[in-house]
Chains A and B, each alone.
Chain A
């Protein structure tokens, strides 16, 4: 039986690989570092997939740019491993009992790399700038929607006054958009919105060279002494210099790594991972992103997904595990909810609750009136085929999501006679389809640190990207309550109810996988880390070169 032997062989090859993957995906204990003890000095080169559109953190919009932001800029707060907010440039914060204001105390002795001290006036200058018309419309309209004013109480104390209780303002203070830029830069930088060497922060590195299309070069900030509690050391960074080179092709990134032209790369697709794991001088680490899972959102505003049974049937028609395995070779983590499993707000009770039941899918479609099939095997009702359109905007297709769509397409056709039409188009065409309501399936994942921020956009009836076009008062109420409640346990309860509502009861989404980031690095590099909660590669602060 050659087929069986092949399978055994495949299993024998894959099993150790999986063991390696599993072994290295845990939070690396410093003791196990192959690079030995941390030491100071040296220069590293890191190949990244994406060139940032802007280097100004206030304008930040690309998850792939996060690892660069924190080299030069810092926020008032940050998240620890448990997803709890902890101080950074602020030493602490206090919410008023009515939740309508937050008072933050700033750390002493922090200076921007142009010499300007970080004080309450600087923080106010940053937030005021963000609310200036035409500067950062997205931040002003979403994160700072409920902010009324910023008050300088004294040089070390600043107060944010809100129009309504809003705990997500704290997430803003921990986000790249909330990072502190030198007020001098805000006034004088030549191309402020684009950022660059003249837009400076308080971070452990200073950007001293940017060659667009090629690389970013940072050197150590020798005066740095205010590392967040989540870092593994204090004082200045270990590295003297670090260069990030933009190499967009994954094969080229991995090739540059194996030929030692670079020491670290991020963005290692499943197909290239064996190349890294087979090499004993390299190490692969991966971590799940926070925020919302990569999901298909069903447009409920018209047929056929206005019928709950059809939405459920679509989910039952896909064996997500099989689809993921065929596309990602066991490197993808299945998602069961619209929230990523790595988020503290994730509701575990949804695991295994639905999906992959072909008989049920067919029964549901029969009940919904799609009982007959045409010559090609697709279901029809009143002479119309059961067709649903997925519109993917090419600039946002990553992780081979176009291939994944084809696998889902084949699955729903074969198991339930659903015709999933995929259109891979430019951004303009996609937006037009969304505006004209000419789609039934929308795919999306967001890497927000607080999943609540993502869900506000995706699920609220007035949300900016509410592509399910759902208009459910209960969902809105839960989202608003989640944003207004400061008690973490209570919040988790609210978002659990919300997930039950949209995933289990309403079947608004088909969650597919939790996006992950990968870093492949030479074993001589120590301190390779992911940012807690966000799950994306961390800044270069903790990196060092071993012997």
Chain B
């Protein structure tokens, strides 16, 4: 039997190692974050939000078309993906037996782990090839496929929190069960559902790989869903791997804007999620 003192020292040493591991985990993450903020703030200007990229060799320009393109594609993706995810979650909580629900839940978890570049390839074969051209629509469909499992799982978690008595009260008043699902269950979980939606939007806002060969990117303004469209993550990628100092600055500014938008979305999502639990 080892002495008590030795065991205590060993315990303290292991605690120290764990503290060191935590520091090792946090330091690079914080460094990256600080660097994005520092480089981003010095590179931001009004032009960034109002201009499209200048051709090589000219200074200035911005990512206005990329920002607009991202908003459009995320919007279209939401229109396609959100109803599927939310109503799918209604099925899991209201109608499905536990066996079927497990299978779908499992499939959703597995699907959300599939590399997004694969989603892009599938969208390419399903839309780009038959439509004979890269398009914003194909990009949106790829993003929607990424959103569906996220929305489904978060919505399901929220619907499970709605007390059964609420449903029973509605049914007892003679409300048909489909209206109960939509108007009572879903509605009382609304802020939680919103959390899932915001998290899913935040997640796809930064997706780059699935857009590489669906939306393709565009140097100019584009408003057509059937044509290639610019997106912020694509522009950041192209500028980052370019050899030009000026484009690097645009990439940093873009990174800061993107990260800020994503953090705002996630924080808003968390806020709605929390207010539901406490209320």
A binds B: no
